[in-house]
Chains A and B, each alone.
Chain A
Amino acid sequence: MNRSSRFIFSALCFGFAFLYLPILMLILLSFNDSSIATVWGGFSLRWYSALLNNEQIINAALLSLKIAAVSATFATILGTMAGLALTQMGRYRGRLIFTGLIAAPLVMPEVITGLSLLLLFVSLQELIGWPLSRGASTITIAHITFSMAYVAVIVQSRLASMDQSMEEAAMDLGGRPMQVAFDITLPLIAPSMLSGWLLAFTLSLDDLVIASFTSGAGASTLPMVIFSKIKLGVTPDINALATLIIGTVSIGIIIASWIMFRQSKRNEVG
């Protein structure tokens, strides 16, 4: 190895150690019987059983899953439409503003998005009496808004790289645009819609700031409960919760990318 490739190699090793050691440490600590991080009290599952008996956390997790599923579904529908509108619809008035509206939520600091949505909900309530109270429904609307932009970007990049000859052929054969979209375009972009849904789901599940702003007194999502617990310091049952969440997500992602990898291999051969 020459000098520059040795440098690249050590940067890779350092970088991945930096990314993964904290998570591995967290997983290890979740099995520690002692509640002090520096003392190994032996292997134990007691923080996991404490977790399962914590009703507040279980309820918050169920609420978060519900909000994530609903908002991801709507975000996928709206985001796919936005992706189509950006690539397949030619020119129309306000297209430039639309492009900006899609890209801006991706980088907007959460405190601004959260505050502005809350003020919108408050103003709407004054004007038209809706929403009556803030909670799961307002959080869901907020999550749809920022995650549909992510779905739109994923769908858009797939559409842009796609060969459009099939759609053109269908149109030339007299297919109507809506028919062509449902029969040809959507099946072709289904995998990216699925990744968009999964991304929207995880983003919603993970969001603390926007949910804190748009929620009312009653509804606490899982990140909100976690945050109020860890603000005061490390607690071992959160280690266990983190291990469960990170473990589930990682296994899901690894399986998904393995399937996609095999499919792309098959497409190359076939």
Chain B
Amino acid sequence: MKDLSGPKATRYSQPLGDKLWRNFVIGLPYLWLFLFFLVPFGIVFKISLADPIVAQPPFTALFDFGANTKNWLHATFDNYLFLTEDNLYWISYFNSIKIAGISTLLCLLLGYPMAYGIARSTPTVRNVLLMLVILPFWTSFLLRVYAWMGLLGKNGVVNGLLAYTGLIDAPLELLYTNGAVYLGIVYTYIPFMILPLYATLEKMDLDLQDAAADLGAKPWQVFVDTTLPLSMPGIIAGSMLVFIPALGEFVIPALLGGIDSLMIGRTLYDEFFVNRDWPLASAVATVLLFILVIPIMLFQRSQQEKK
């Protein structure tokens, strides 16, 4: 019976049809992702080494095998050099990491007790609460960000309420600030934090906590010494699911942020659509990808451990 646990495909000598089917099922999605996900990164890197020119497409070719060219390879690191020279990019990268990091922490601080509460409620309540967490995830991201524009604007609901209660005389600047960006990120990404946290907290064996409490540990000690370390995989998965997309976020800083809320996603977007400097935008993307390598690998590892 031992060979049942082995890879299924080797259990039988494979007729041709089975082999074709197997190659088809693996090969087609593999090929698709290779062509439309992996190859494009290579192209981004290639174009980041080009010079911008006024042409269609607006960059120089990397290889030039024409008869009257001295160098067949045309590569330049000027775009990367430019990134280090102009303060705009340093500020954008730094701001993105700061905003994404603080937002992730805020998501964790609000999401953890929520996930804990959901995991410890009765099955029926739990299902309803879970659905309430997932529901916003299905509704439009763009429109949920937009909802805050109506709340925070000069003539918005928050300012209206504050003025009505007499707390302020003149409307506060709430929209188009860094604070609004934090709010927007926490608001739209918190389901990504709650769900993996819930998954680890729900599976957790409560015997350890009970034992610790029986042995006289205070509730916060039980939490710090048992619950928190045991929920680490969920914390890492949730944090990465918030941090990575937030780092490259474009919509939220574009709609809720001010002119000084520079984030790298917005800088890249403007470099591409406004300045039309494709090579520089590609260099910005390449550097962003390098910054993301470590968090993405952390996320991958936490997913692998789950299995």
Residues of A within 8 A of B (CB): 2-4, 7-9, 11-12, 14-16, 18-20, 22-23, 25-26, 29, 36-38, 78-79, 81-82, 84-85, 88-92, 94, 98-105, 107-113, 115-117, 119-120, 122-123, 126, 141-142, 144-145, 148-149, 152, 160, 168, 171, 176-178, 181, 199, 202, 205-206, 208-209, 212-213, 223, 226-227, 230-231, 233-234, 238-239, 241-242, 245-246, 249-250, 253-254, 257, 261
Would you call A230 and B146 a contact (CB within 8 A)?
yes
**Which of B114, B157, B248 is within 8 Å of A111, CB to CB?**
B248
29 A/B residue pairs, CB under 8 Å, sorted by A: A2-B219, A7-B113, A11-B117, A12-B118, A12-B129, A22-B144, A23-B144, A84-B25, A89-B8, A90-B7, A104-B37, A107-B240, A108-B248, A109-B248, A109-B292, A110-B248, A111-B265, A111-B268, A112-B248, A119-B47, A120-B40, A120-B43, A142-B36, A168-B4, A171-B12, A206-B140, A226-B146, A230-B255, A233-B149
| Assembled-state Cα–Cα distance A113/B33 (Å) | 12
Chain B residues, CB < 8 A from A14: 110
The yes or no answer to B21 lying at the interface (CB within 8 A) is yes
**Which of A19, A78, A82 is within 8 Å of B190, CB to CB?**
A19
**Which of A85, A115, A227, A231 is within 8 Å of B272, CB to CB?**
A115
Would you call B156 and A37 a contact (CB within 8 A)?
yes
Q: Nearest chain B CB to A235's CB is how many angstroms away?
A: 10
Would you call A91 and B7 a contact (CB within 8 A)?
yes
* Interface 9-mer from B65-73, B74-82, B83-91, B130-138: B130-138
Chain A residues, CB < 8 A from B117: 8-9, 11-12
The yes or no answer to B150 lying at the interface (CB within 8 A) is yes
The yes or no answer to B93 lying at the interface (CB within 8 A) is no
Chain B residues, CB < 8 A from A92: 26
Docked complex: B212-238 residues within 8 A CB-CB of A? 219
Would you call A115 and B21 a contact (CB within 8 A)?
no
Chain B residues, CB < 8 A from A208: 142, 251
Chain B residues, CB < 8 A from A36: 155
**Which of A90, A98, A120 is within 8 Å of B9, CB to CB?**
A90
Would you call A115 and B281 a contact (CB within 8 A)?
yes
Q: Give the contact-size bracket for chain B.
A: 35 or more
Q: Given A176-B18, A226-B143, A250-B139: A12 and B114 within 8 A (CB)?
A: yes
